[in-house]
């Protein structure tokens, strides 16, 4: 991977460092300034090739829930993205030692606690791997890997319209292709750099038509003015584009973020109203209030139950 990337970017200046953290984790970097012209960092991740899944995402009752970080940061720049508060740098890190990540997944499959269920592994958790596929073909590598494993279920979550970059691969039910969908008003205002929703839907519809298990993620739901009618329209448009029988399942979650990350983002960034709404702090996280959250998620869930049975809808509350 390192060789092919160096060849692809042969016109770039290469600076060698002993440890990527000496660049990536430098203090006093400005995330949004750096995001305007980020650099590519090729690195070796020496440990933590797998993490246990967090309560911040929906696991559909799958107990052997893990995620990994094949890259750090994302080609998109959503206003509500917690990566701005989590990482000191906006530079894009690609870990080139995929063999270690694959080995860790193999070991975790063997060691999983609930042998009746597969290892459920999200590989596009803190990034958008499919959006980056034309640079680093990790989705291809992991889909091929999953096809060869009997007890693995991968989730690849994306806002991209890049299904075409993997459309030649044989369909496997061991990989869920998950599209995050937002009303156009939310996408155009807060999901900077990501394709418009109709293009994501075209991509998801192509994947569903070919037989891929497709997940629809209405997450984070943002309560823009008149949010109910915007989400109603989105869900109608979605199921006009993708027949419900072709949808594996759907997830719903409201905006939420680690409070410390939000504080850090606010210190660097004043140009997004979404970061300055009144949120309620609960434990380490901020989100809409306890009263608002069930109202929001019930509304979206009710819209979805017109198309999907309740057991195929998972809600983060
Ligand atoms: S697509 Fe996801 S990971 Fe990428 S910037 Fe948006 S919220 Fe962050």
pLDDT, tens digit, 9 for 90 and up, residues 133-174: 999 999 999 999 999 999 999 999 999 999 999 999 999 999
Q: How far apart are CA 147 and CA 213, in angstroms?
A: 13
On the question of pLDDT at 251 being above 80, the answer is: yes
The encoded tokens of residue 269 equal 């960034």
Its pTM stands at 0.96
| pLDDT score of 55 more than 70 | no
Q: Is the pLDDT of residue 58 over 70?
A: no
In this model, does residue 23 exceed pLDDT 70?
A: yes
Q: Residue 316 pLDDT more than 90?
A: no
Shortest-distance atom of ligand 1 to CA 83? 8
CA-atom Rg of the chain in angstroms: 19
Q: What is the pLDDT of residue 211?
A: 98
**119-122/152-158 β-pairing:** parallel
Nearest-CA residue for atom 3 of ligand 1: 127
Q: Is any atom of ligand 1 closer than 6 Å to the C-beta of 81?
A: yes
Q: What is the mean pLDDT of residues 214-224?
A: 97
Work out the pLDDT band at 57, boundaries 50, 70, 90: low
**What is the pLDDT, as a whole number, of residue 54?**
73
| CA of 180 relative to ligand 1 center, distance in Å | 10
Q: Which atom of ligand 1 is nearest to the CA of 80?
A: 7
Residues in the chain: 317
Q: What is the mean pLDDT of the chain?
A: 95
Output the DSSP codes for the chain: -HHHHHHHTTTS-----S-THHHHT-SS--HHHHHTTPPEEEE---S---EEPPTTS--TT-SSEEE--SEES-SSEETT-THHHH-S--PEEEE--HHHHHHHHHHHHHH-S-TTS-EEEESSSSS-TGGGTTTS-HHHHHHHHHHT-SSEEEEEEE--S-GGGGTTSPP-TTEEEEEE---HHHHHHHEETSPPHHHHHHHHHHHHHHT--EEEEEEEE---TTHHHHHHHHHHHHHHHS-GGGEEEEEEEE-EEEHHHHHHHHHH--S-GGGGS--EEETTEEES-TTHHHHHHHHHHHHHTTTS-GGGEEEE-
User: Among 86, 127, 182, which is best to mutate for testing ligand 1, by the most ligand atoms less than 8 A from CB?
Assistant: 127
Ligand 1 centroid to 218 CA: how many Å? 14
Degrees to nearest 5, angle at CA 84 with 34 and 219: 135
Q: What is the predicted pLDDT for the residue at 56?
A: 62
Check if 275 has its Cβ closer than 6 Å to any atom of ligand 1.
no
User: Is the per-residue pLDDT at 277 higher than 70?
Assistant: yes
Q: Answer whether residue 1 shows pLDDT above 90.
A: no
- Ligand 1 binding pocket includes 159 (Cβ within 6 Å): yes
pLDDT at residue 233 tops 70 = yes
Q: Tell me which residue has its CA closest to atom 8 in ligand 1.
A: 81
CATH number of 2-316: 3.80.30.30
Judged against a pLDDT cut of 70, whether residue 284 lies above it is answered with yes
Rounded to the nearest angstrom, the distance between the alpha carbon of 53 and the centre of ligand 1 is 17
CB-neighbour burial class of residue 21 (10 A; exposed 0-12, middle 13-18, buried 19+) = middle
76 lines ligand 1 (CB under 6 A): yes
Which whole number is the average pLDDT over 297-303?
A: 98
Q: Measuring CA to CA, which residue among 142, 139, 134, 136 is closest to residue 101?
A: 142
pLDDT mean over 107-121? 97
Contact present, 89 and 24 (Cβ < 8 Å): yes
**Residue 79 alpha carbon to ligand 1 centre in Å:** 9
Distance from the alpha carbon of residue 41 to the mean position of ligand 1, in angstroms = 18
d(CA 104, CA 66): 11
Mutate which of 34, 78, 186, 187 for ligand 1? The one with the most ligand atoms within 8 Å of its CB, which is: 78
């Amino acid at each position: 991977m390192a060789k092919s990337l160096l060849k692809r970017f042969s016109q770039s200046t290469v600076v060698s460092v002993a440890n990527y953290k000496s660049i990536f984790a430098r203090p006093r970097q400005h995330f949004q300034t750096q995001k305007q012209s980020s650099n590519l960092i090729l690195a070796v991740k020496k440990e933590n090739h797998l993490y246990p899944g967090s309560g911040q995402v929906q696991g559909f009752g799958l107990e052997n829930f893990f995620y990994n970080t094949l890259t750090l940061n994302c080609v998109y720049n959503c206003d509500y993205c917690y990566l701005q508060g989590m990482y000191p740098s906006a530079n894009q890190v690609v870990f080139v030692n995929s063999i270690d990540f694959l080995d860790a997944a193999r070991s975790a499959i063997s060691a999983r606690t609930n042998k009746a269920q597969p290892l459920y592994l999200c590989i596009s958790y803190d990034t958008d791997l499919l959006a980056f596929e034309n640079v680093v073909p990790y989705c291809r590598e992991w889909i091929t890997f999953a096809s060869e494993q009997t007890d693995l279920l991968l989730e690849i979550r994306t806002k991209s319209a890049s299904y075409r970059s993997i459309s030649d691969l044989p369909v496997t039910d061991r990989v869920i292709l998950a599209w995050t969908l937002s009303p156009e008003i939310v996408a155009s205002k807060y999901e900077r750099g990501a394709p418009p929703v109709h293009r994501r839907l075209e991509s998801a519809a192509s994947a569903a038509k070919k037989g891929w298990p497709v997940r629809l993620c209405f997450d984070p739901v943002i309560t823009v003015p008149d949010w109910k009618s915007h989400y109603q329209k989105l869900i109608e448009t979605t199921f006009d584009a993708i027949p419900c029988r072709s949808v594996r399942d759907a997830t719903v979650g409201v905006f939420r973020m680690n409070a410390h990350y939000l504080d850090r983002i606010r210190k660097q960034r004043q140009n997004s109203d979404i970061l300055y709404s009144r949120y309620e702090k609960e434990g380490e996280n901020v989100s809409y209030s306890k009263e608002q959250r069930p109202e929001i998620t019930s509304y979206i869930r009710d819209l979805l139950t017109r198309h999907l049975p309740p057991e195929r809808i998972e809600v983060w509350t």
